[in-house]
Amino acid sequence: MKTLISKYWLVLMALVSVTLFTACSSDDDDAVTPVFPQVQPIAGEAGEVKEFTFEANESWSLSSDKIWCKLVGEKADAFVLNGTAGKQTIKVKITADDASDDMSVAQLFLNMGGQKVAIAEVTRSAAGYKLQVFDAAGNDITETGITVGYNVYNKFTVKSNFRFAVTNTPAWVDLEGGFLVGTPNEAVVGGVAFKENQGVSAKYAIAKDGNYTITFTSEDGKAATTIPVIYNGMTTSTMDVTYPTSSQWAVWNVSLDGKVFTQNGSSLNGGDTNAFTFYNFVPFTLKTLGDAYQLVVFDKKEDGLREETSGAVKLQGEKGDVKLTVAPLGSGSREFLVYALPQSVYATFDNGLDEMLENDYTSVKSDYDRYFLMDVVQKEANSSADDQSAAPTILKMNYLPVECKKDKSMYGSIISEAFGYNGDEIYVAQSEVGSSLTVNPNIKDWNPTTMMETGYLTVMDSNGNDVDAEASQDEKENWIFFVQVPEATPMFMVFKDNGTPVKVLVVESPGEGMSKKHTSIRKIRK
């Protein structure tokens, strides 16, 4: 009997243990892991009130570890504040309590989920040190912050009773001249402009709660002041366009089905352009304030320009990376002039898009040239039977277009000697060593499967070594080749019709100099 009771007791304890474990595991699964922000520097003198912002992902408490550093509450100053999850903006009052002849440092600790982490370091200048900053109009901006300019240095003036230097700026802030120093009781002028490619985009404004600051530090190390920096974004009329090719004013031919875009070698300004082909769309990058732009399309008729309202031309994409598409056309032809205007510019038109046109309504005012995207001519493609092709279509990593230029001048002689080709279908492109390319040679009525014995392609590096190229077909059953750019560039892709070369693609390394090209020519001749 005793043994039986013991067995039942063991079973019961096991069940209780499982239940408790399951309950604990469930609690652990539901628990929120606290995420703490990086430490923010705050510096100023007694009597100043500073703001800083942080994000909390659960309920929190914030505490100061010094008597002279107080947190401003709704009803009174305190050394501890409590709050719930979300974005928080806290005011920090620097007082003269426990005054010192040296710099004093306090820390603000955030407590979440049982963890306590310092998220701000508050530096109080020694007694008697004072610094103020003013904008170009003379307004005191010590608390509100310095505004950073776009493509221009916004000026500000610093007045202090001590010798100082700027010791810290955000990476995206370009300080005019690279440094700024000041002497006691003498005004000094500085300037700040937006610096590109530093982790933030010029397209978006940065408010005070971004917690970006410039630090002014005394020569003796006893005083420091942080001044907020803010950025209002690009000027509202700015539109920076990255074009798919180097020819901004190129005329593009589009097939009736809207699937083939070809830069046809002519341009609106009368200059020559290189042939270039895209399929299904043409990519652009638009850079404007807040990504707010308006597509404007004019239908070009014999009697002038009219606003195109059918939606035949569209821009699709996000954050300025867009694809221009053209709807199919059953027959005939049409021509469009395509622009992308900042939304603020578009909003100024009281009388519609006619305000963009000259008085004769046959051309767009030159004021809007900076917003131009492309001239589109949609019609049935005409090609002669002996037309070998257009320029090869090249994609890097199977999605990035690579520009290809027709150029016989540099490589004509070596291609003639090494491969026996004397025509002018020689194209030159550039891509980094090791990059993966997808190449469509665009040769009319060309089928490698019928040339297995006679030969359809030779790929060779500048040392005369063969380079592997994998043949395939795209969704339109066009022949394409996958190839990796070798170390020994340039690379030669010689496309053949039953063993006879009909087109050559040369792929160079970016920035490849003349001396290297000549050296490569000598090597491949051997």
Across all residues in the chain, what is the average pLDDT?
86
Please check the confidence at residue 138 and state whether its pLDDT lies above 90. Answer: yes
DSSP string, 86-99: EEEEEEEEE--TT-
Query: How would residue 172 be classed by pLDDT, with cut points 50, 70 and 90?
Result: very high
SS3 content of the chain, % helix, strand, coil (to 5): 15, 45, 40
Please check the confidence at residue 211 and state whether its pLDDT lies above 60. Answer: yes
Please check the confidence at residue 136 and state whether its pLDDT lies above 80. Answer: yes
Whole-number pLDDT of residue 389: 53
Q: Percent of the chain scored above 70 by pLDDT?
A: 87
C-alpha to C-alpha distances, 280 to 254, 323, 497, nearest whole angstrom = 10, 9, 28
Please check the confidence at residue 392 and state whether its pLDDT lies above 60. Answer: yes
Q: Three-class SS of residue 103? A: coil
Question: For the segment 426-448, what is each residue's pLDDT rounded down to a tens digit?
Answer: 999 999 999 999 999 998 888 99
C-alpha to C-alpha distances, 499 to 157, 440, 453, 495, 502, nearest whole angstrom = 75, 18, 9, 9, 9
Euclidean distance between CA atoms 277 and 265, whole angstroms: 11
Question: For the segment 13-55, what is each residue's pLDDT rounded down to a tens digit?
Answer: 544 454 444 444 445 556 679 999 899 999 999 999 999 899 9
Whole-number pLDDT of residue 408: 84
Please check the confidence at residue 470 and state whether its pLDDT lies above 90. Answer: yes
* Average pLDDT rounded to a whole number, residues 58-73: 93
Question: For the segment 357-387, what is each residue's pLDDT rounded down to a tens digit?
Answer: 998 889 999 999 999 999 999 987 654 334 4
Whole-number pLDDT of residue 29: 55
Whole-number pLDDT of residue 516: 42
C-alpha to C-alpha distances, 111 to 28, 54, 370, nearest whole angstrom = 19, 13, 52
Please name which of 318, 298, 415, 420 lies closest in space to residue 365, comparing C-alpha atoms. 298
Question: For the segment 296-339, what is each residue's pLDDT rounded down to a tens digit?
Answer: 999 998 889 999 999 999 999 988 899 999 999 988 899 999 99
Whole-number pLDDT of residue 76: 85
> 134 vs 454, which has greater pLDDT?
134
Domains of the chain in sequence order = 40-124 (2.60.40.10), 131-231 (2.60.40.10), 240-378 (2.60.40), 393-525 (2.60.40)
Whole-number pLDDT of residue 1: 41
Whole-number pLDDT of residue 519: 43
Euclidean distance between CA atoms 150 and 199, whole angstroms: 16
Whole-number pLDDT of residue 276: 73
Euclidean distance between CA atoms 348 and 355, whole angstroms: 10
Please check the confidence at residue 507 and state whether its pLDDT lies above 60. Answer: yes
Whole-number pLDDT of residue 302: 85
Whole-number pLDDT of residue 251: 85
Whole-number pLDDT of residue 508: 95
Residue 124 gets the label, from left (phi > 0), alpha (psi -120 to 50) or beta, of beta
pTM: 0.57
